[in-house]
Amino acid sequence: MNQLKAIFSRMKVPQGGAPQGSSAGLSFLVLLGLGTYGGYHSMVTVQPGHKGVVYNRIGGLDENHILKEGLNIVVPWFQRPVVFDIRTRPQPIDTTSGSKDLQMVTISLRVLFKPDPNQLGFIYRRLGSDYDVRVLPSIVNEVTKAVVAQYNASELLTKRDAVSLQVRRMLIKRAEDFHILLDDVAITHLSFSREYTAAVEAKQVAQQDSERAKYIVERAMQEKKSIVIRAEGEAKSAQLIGNAIQKNPAFVQLRKIEASKDIASTLSASGNKIYLDADSLMINTLGDSVLEDKNKGSSTNAGSWF
Protein backbone atom coordinates (compact mmCIF):
# COMPACT_ATOMS: atom_id res chain seq x y z
CA MET A 1 0.00 0.00 0.00
CA ASN A 2 2.79 2.43 0.91
CA GLN A 3 4.59 1.59 -2.31
CA LEU A 4 1.47 2.37 -4.35
CA LYS A 5 1.10 5.73 -2.59
CA ALA A 6 4.72 6.57 -3.34
CA ILE A 7 4.22 5.70 -7.02
CA PHE A 8 1.10 7.87 -7.23
CA SER A 9 2.85 10.80 -5.52
CA ARG A 10 5.63 10.73 -8.09
CA MET A 11 3.16 10.77 -10.97
CA LYS A 12 2.61 14.31 -12.39
CA VAL A 13 -0.68 15.38 -13.95
CA PRO A 14 -0.51 17.97 -16.81
CA GLN A 15 -1.81 21.49 -16.07
CA GLY A 16 -4.48 21.29 -18.69
CA GLY A 17 -5.99 18.32 -16.85
CA ALA A 18 -5.90 14.68 -17.77
CA PRO A 19 -8.05 13.27 -20.46
CA GLN A 20 -11.03 11.30 -19.31
CA GLY A 21 -9.73 8.08 -20.84
CA SER A 22 -6.38 8.30 -19.08
CA SER A 23 -7.99 8.90 -15.65
CA ALA A 24 -10.26 5.94 -16.15
CA GLY A 25 -7.28 3.78 -17.06
CA LEU A 26 -5.39 4.97 -14.01
CA SER A 27 -8.35 4.15 -11.77
CA PHE A 28 -8.54 0.73 -13.31
CA LEU A 29 -4.86 0.10 -12.61
CA VAL A 30 -5.30 1.24 -9.01
CA LEU A 31 -8.29 -1.01 -8.50
CA LEU A 32 -6.47 -3.90 -10.16
CA GLY A 33 -3.45 -3.45 -7.90
CA LEU A 34 -5.60 -3.25 -4.79
CA GLY A 35 -7.58 -6.31 -5.86
CA THR A 36 -4.42 -8.31 -6.57
CA TYR A 37 -2.89 -7.33 -3.23
CA GLY A 38 -6.10 -8.12 -1.34
CA GLY A 39 -6.67 -11.40 -3.13
CA TYR A 40 -3.10 -12.60 -2.58
CA HIS A 41 -2.99 -11.75 1.12
CA SER A 42 -6.54 -12.88 1.85
CA MET A 43 -5.84 -16.53 1.01
CA VAL A 44 -4.00 -18.66 3.56
CA THR A 45 -3.11 -22.27 2.80
CA VAL A 46 -2.72 -24.49 5.86
CA GLN A 47 -0.57 -27.57 5.24
CA PRO A 48 -1.51 -31.07 6.50
CA GLY A 49 -0.66 -31.55 10.16
CA HIS A 50 -1.05 -27.83 10.89
CA LYS A 51 -3.75 -25.67 12.39
CA GLY A 52 -4.00 -21.93 12.98
CA VAL A 53 -5.70 -19.09 14.79
CA VAL A 54 -6.40 -15.55 13.61
CA TYR A 55 -5.14 -12.34 15.21
CA ASN A 56 -7.36 -9.31 14.56
CA ARG A 57 -5.81 -5.86 14.77
CA ILE A 58 -9.00 -4.44 16.20
CA GLY A 59 -10.41 -7.16 18.46
CA GLY A 60 -7.21 -9.06 19.25
CA LEU A 61 -6.91 -12.83 19.12
CA ASP A 62 -10.05 -14.50 17.81
CA GLU A 63 -10.08 -18.00 19.38
CA ASN A 64 -13.31 -18.91 17.59
CA HIS A 65 -11.82 -18.37 14.14
CA ILE A 66 -9.76 -21.53 13.56
CA LEU A 67 -7.79 -22.10 10.38
CA LYS A 68 -8.07 -25.71 9.30
CA GLU A 69 -6.15 -27.65 6.68
CA GLY A 70 -6.58 -26.35 3.14
CA LEU A 71 -7.48 -22.88 1.85
CA ASN A 72 -8.74 -20.27 4.31
CA ILE A 73 -9.84 -16.65 3.78
CA VAL A 74 -8.77 -13.73 5.99
CA VAL A 75 -9.07 -9.97 5.68
CA PRO A 76 -5.73 -8.52 4.56
CA TRP A 77 -3.88 -6.26 6.99
CA PHE A 78 -6.70 -6.44 9.57
CA GLN A 79 -6.26 -10.15 10.26
CA ARG A 80 -3.00 -12.08 10.63
CA PRO A 81 -2.91 -15.91 10.62
CA VAL A 82 -0.82 -17.79 13.19
CA VAL A 83 -0.22 -21.39 12.12
CA PHE A 84 0.90 -24.15 14.54
CA ASP A 85 2.44 -27.51 13.77
CA ILE A 86 0.18 -30.01 15.57
CA ARG A 87 2.17 -33.10 14.55
CA THR A 88 4.12 -35.10 17.13
CA ARG A 89 7.72 -33.91 17.32
CA PRO A 90 10.72 -35.15 19.33
CA GLN A 91 12.53 -32.93 21.80
CA PRO A 92 15.80 -34.16 23.41
CA ILE A 93 16.46 -32.67 26.83
CA ASP A 94 19.47 -33.22 29.11
CA THR A 95 19.26 -32.64 32.84
CA THR A 96 21.48 -33.20 35.88
CA SER A 97 20.07 -34.19 39.24
CA GLY A 98 21.08 -35.67 42.58
CA SER A 99 20.06 -39.16 43.64
CA LYS A 100 18.90 -40.28 47.06
CA ASP A 101 22.46 -41.13 48.10
CA LEU A 102 23.69 -37.70 46.89
CA GLN A 103 25.24 -38.90 43.64
CA MET A 104 25.08 -36.57 40.63
CA VAL A 105 23.28 -38.19 37.70
CA THR A 106 23.07 -36.91 34.12
CA ILE A 107 19.89 -38.04 32.35
CA SER A 108 18.98 -37.57 28.68
CA LEU A 109 15.27 -37.69 27.86
CA ARG A 110 13.44 -37.85 24.54
CA VAL A 111 10.03 -36.22 24.74
CA LEU A 112 7.43 -36.63 21.97
CA PHE A 113 5.07 -33.66 22.20
CA LYS A 114 2.44 -31.68 20.32
CA PRO A 115 0.11 -28.80 21.20
CA ASP A 116 -3.52 -29.39 22.08
CA PRO A 117 -5.34 -28.57 18.80
CA ASN A 118 -8.33 -27.25 20.75
CA GLN A 119 -6.29 -24.85 22.88
CA LEU A 120 -4.12 -23.08 20.32
CA GLY A 121 -5.50 -19.68 21.35
CA PHE A 122 -4.51 -20.23 24.97
CA ILE A 123 -1.05 -21.42 23.95
CA TYR A 124 -0.41 -18.45 21.65
CA ARG A 125 -1.72 -15.88 24.14
CA ARG A 126 0.10 -17.28 27.20
CA LEU A 127 3.21 -18.94 25.77
CA GLY A 128 3.69 -17.86 22.18
CA SER A 129 4.58 -19.87 19.11
CA ASP A 130 7.83 -21.10 20.76
CA TYR A 131 5.95 -22.72 23.64
CA ASP A 132 8.11 -25.86 23.53
CA VAL A 133 11.29 -23.92 24.29
CA ARG A 134 9.60 -21.98 27.08
CA VAL A 135 7.87 -24.89 28.87
CA LEU A 136 9.42 -28.30 28.19
CA PRO A 137 12.95 -27.78 29.60
CA SER A 138 11.64 -26.32 32.86
CA ILE A 139 9.01 -28.99 33.58
CA VAL A 140 11.38 -31.80 32.52
CA ASN A 141 14.01 -30.57 34.97
CA GLU A 142 11.42 -30.19 37.71
CA VAL A 143 9.92 -33.65 37.30
CA THR A 144 13.25 -35.42 36.73
CA LYS A 145 14.80 -33.96 39.87
CA ALA A 146 11.74 -34.97 41.91
CA VAL A 147 11.81 -38.56 40.64
CA VAL A 148 15.58 -39.14 40.75
CA ALA A 149 15.73 -37.95 44.36
CA GLN A 150 13.58 -40.95 45.35
CA TYR A 151 16.10 -43.58 44.17
CA ASN A 152 19.69 -44.51 44.92
CA ALA A 153 22.25 -44.45 42.16
CA SER A 154 22.25 -48.23 41.87
CA GLU A 155 18.43 -48.34 41.80
CA LEU A 156 18.40 -45.97 38.83
CA LEU A 157 20.09 -48.74 36.86
CA THR A 158 18.27 -51.76 38.25
CA LYS A 159 14.83 -50.05 38.25
CA ARG A 160 15.20 -48.05 35.05
CA ASP A 161 11.80 -49.06 33.69
CA ALA A 162 10.04 -47.97 36.87
CA VAL A 163 11.91 -44.64 36.89
CA SER A 164 11.05 -44.01 33.23
CA LEU A 165 7.37 -44.83 33.83
CA GLN A 166 7.16 -42.53 36.84
CA VAL A 167 8.84 -39.66 34.95
CA ARG A 168 6.43 -40.17 32.05
CA ARG A 169 3.31 -40.07 34.23
CA MET A 170 4.38 -36.96 36.11
CA LEU A 171 5.45 -35.14 32.93
CA ILE A 172 2.16 -35.90 31.16
CA LYS A 173 0.21 -34.58 34.12
CA ARG A 174 2.45 -31.50 34.44
CA ALA A 175 2.27 -30.67 30.70
CA GLU A 176 -1.53 -30.74 30.77
CA ASP A 177 -1.43 -27.49 32.76
CA PHE A 178 0.01 -25.81 29.65
CA HIS A 179 -2.23 -27.72 27.19
CA ILE A 180 0.74 -29.64 25.77
CA LEU A 181 0.18 -33.30 24.91
CA LEU A 182 3.01 -35.78 25.48
CA ASP A 183 2.82 -39.01 23.49
CA ASP A 184 5.94 -40.63 24.96
CA VAL A 185 8.81 -39.96 27.36
CA ALA A 186 11.89 -42.20 27.33
CA ILE A 187 15.27 -42.20 29.08
CA THR A 188 17.86 -42.46 26.31
CA HIS A 189 21.03 -42.07 28.37
CA LEU A 190 21.99 -42.20 32.03
CA SER A 191 25.48 -41.50 33.36
CA PHE A 192 27.12 -40.82 36.71
CA SER A 193 30.05 -38.73 37.86
CA ARG A 194 33.63 -39.91 37.29
CA GLU A 195 34.17 -40.48 41.01
CA TYR A 196 31.13 -42.72 41.31
CA THR A 197 32.00 -44.63 38.15
CA ALA A 198 35.55 -45.20 39.44
CA ALA A 199 34.16 -46.36 42.80
CA VAL A 200 31.81 -48.82 41.08
CA GLU A 201 34.65 -50.20 38.98
CA ALA A 202 36.84 -50.55 42.07
CA LYS A 203 34.03 -52.37 43.86
CA GLN A 204 33.62 -54.76 40.96
CA VAL A 205 37.36 -55.43 40.89
CA ALA A 206 37.34 -56.06 44.66
CA GLN A 207 34.44 -58.50 44.29
CA GLN A 208 36.26 -60.32 41.52
CA ASP A 209 39.42 -60.52 43.65
CA SER A 210 37.34 -61.81 46.57
CA GLU A 211 35.77 -64.48 44.39
CA ARG A 212 39.20 -65.42 43.04
CA ALA A 213 40.63 -65.70 46.58
CA LYS A 214 37.63 -67.77 47.63
CA TYR A 215 38.21 -70.08 44.69
CA ILE A 216 41.89 -70.42 45.59
CA VAL A 217 41.01 -71.31 49.20
CA GLU A 218 38.44 -73.86 48.08
CA ARG A 219 40.93 -75.37 45.65
CA ALA A 220 43.57 -75.58 48.41
CA MET A 221 41.08 -77.29 50.70
CA GLN A 222 40.21 -79.77 47.99
CA GLU A 223 43.87 -80.45 47.36
CA LYS A 224 44.40 -80.93 51.09
CA LYS A 225 41.51 -83.39 51.23
CA SER A 226 42.86 -85.26 48.21
CA ILE A 227 46.33 -85.49 49.82
CA VAL A 228 44.81 -86.81 53.05
CA ILE A 229 42.73 -89.33 51.16
CA ARG A 230 45.76 -90.38 49.12
CA ALA A 231 47.88 -90.76 52.27
CA GLU A 232 45.16 -92.74 53.99
CA GLY A 233 44.91 -94.96 50.94
CA GLU A 234 48.65 -95.52 50.83
CA ALA A 235 48.71 -96.28 54.57
CA LYS A 236 45.84 -98.69 54.15
CA SER A 237 47.59 -100.28 51.20
CA ALA A 238 50.82 -100.63 53.18
CA GLN A 239 48.91 -102.16 56.05
CA LEU A 240 47.22 -104.65 53.75
CA ILE A 241 50.53 -105.52 52.12
CA GLY A 242 52.14 -106.03 55.54
CA ASN A 243 49.31 -108.25 56.65
CA ALA A 244 49.55 -110.23 53.41
CA ILE A 245 53.30 -110.72 53.87
CA GLN A 246 52.84 -111.86 57.45
CA LYS A 247 50.11 -114.30 56.50
CA ASN A 248 51.74 -115.54 53.29
CA PRO A 249 55.49 -114.96 52.70
CA ALA A 250 55.03 -115.95 49.05
CA PHE A 251 53.32 -112.54 48.49
CA VAL A 252 56.75 -110.88 48.15
CA GLN A 253 57.79 -113.52 45.67
CA LEU A 254 54.62 -112.86 43.66
CA ARG A 255 55.43 -109.16 43.56
CA LYS A 256 58.93 -109.94 42.37
CA ILE A 257 57.58 -112.15 39.60
CA GLU A 258 55.24 -109.33 38.44
CA ALA A 259 58.11 -106.84 38.47
CA SER A 260 60.30 -109.32 36.59
CA LYS A 261 57.65 -109.69 33.91
CA ASP A 262 57.42 -105.92 33.43
CA ILE A 263 61.21 -105.58 33.19
CA ALA A 264 61.49 -108.52 30.80
CA SER A 265 58.78 -107.11 28.48
CA THR A 266 60.52 -103.74 28.44
CA LEU A 267 63.94 -105.25 27.63
CA SER A 268 62.50 -107.51 24.94
CA ALA A 269 60.92 -104.54 23.16
CA SER A 270 64.28 -102.76 23.02
CA GLY A 271 66.48 -103.29 19.95
CA ASN A 272 69.72 -103.03 21.92
CA LYS A 273 71.64 -105.91 23.45
CA ILE A 274 71.91 -105.61 27.21
CA TYR A 275 74.00 -107.78 29.54
CA LEU A 276 73.11 -107.15 33.15
CA ASP A 277 73.08 -109.08 36.37
CA ALA A 278 69.76 -110.82 36.96
CA ASP A 279 69.87 -110.04 40.68
CA SER A 280 70.13 -106.29 40.06
CA LEU A 281 67.18 -106.42 37.66
CA MET A 282 65.04 -108.48 40.06
CA ILE A 283 64.73 -111.21 37.41
CA ASN A 284 66.34 -113.88 39.57
CA THR A 285 63.09 -115.03 41.10
CA LEU A 286 64.52 -118.33 42.28
CA GLY A 287 67.75 -116.99 43.64
CA ASP A 288 66.62 -116.61 47.22
CA SER A 289 65.34 -120.15 47.48
CA VAL A 290 68.56 -121.56 45.98
CA LEU A 291 70.63 -119.50 48.40
CA GLU A 292 68.48 -120.65 51.29
CA ASP A 293 68.95 -124.32 50.23
CA LYS A 294 72.72 -123.83 49.96
CA ASN A 295 72.85 -122.18 53.37
CA LYS A 296 70.87 -125.03 54.88
CA GLY A 297 73.14 -127.59 53.25
CA SER A 298 76.32 -125.93 54.41
CA SER A 299 75.04 -125.67 57.95
CA THR A 300 74.16 -129.42 57.95
CA ASN A 301 77.58 -130.44 56.63
CA ALA A 302 79.24 -128.30 59.22
CA GLY A 303 77.29 -130.01 61.98
CA SER A 304 78.21 -133.47 60.75
CA TRP A 305 81.91 -132.58 60.46
CA PHE A 306 82.12 -131.70 64.08
Residue 17: what pLDDT? 47
Residue 218: what pLDDT? 86
Handedness of CA 57, 61, 65, 71 (dihedral sign): positive
* Ranges under pLDDT 70 in the chain: 1-22, 28, 32-41, 249-253, 271-306
Helices marked H in the chain: 2-10, 20-42, 120-126, 131-148, 153-158, 160-175, 194-247, 250-269, 287-305
For 117-170, write each residue's pLDDT tens digit.
999 999 999 999 999 999 999 999 999 999 999 999 889 989 999 999 999 999
Closest by CA to 97, choosing from 87, 109, 85, 89, is 109
CA dist list (Å): 283 to 185, 250, 255, 292: 91, 16, 11, 17
Cross-strand bridge partners of residue 181: 114
Its pTM stands at 0.58
Closest by CA to 43, choosing from 81, 67, 75, 73, is 73
Residue 159: what pLDDT? 92
Residue 193: what pLDDT? 82
Residue 223: what pLDDT? 85
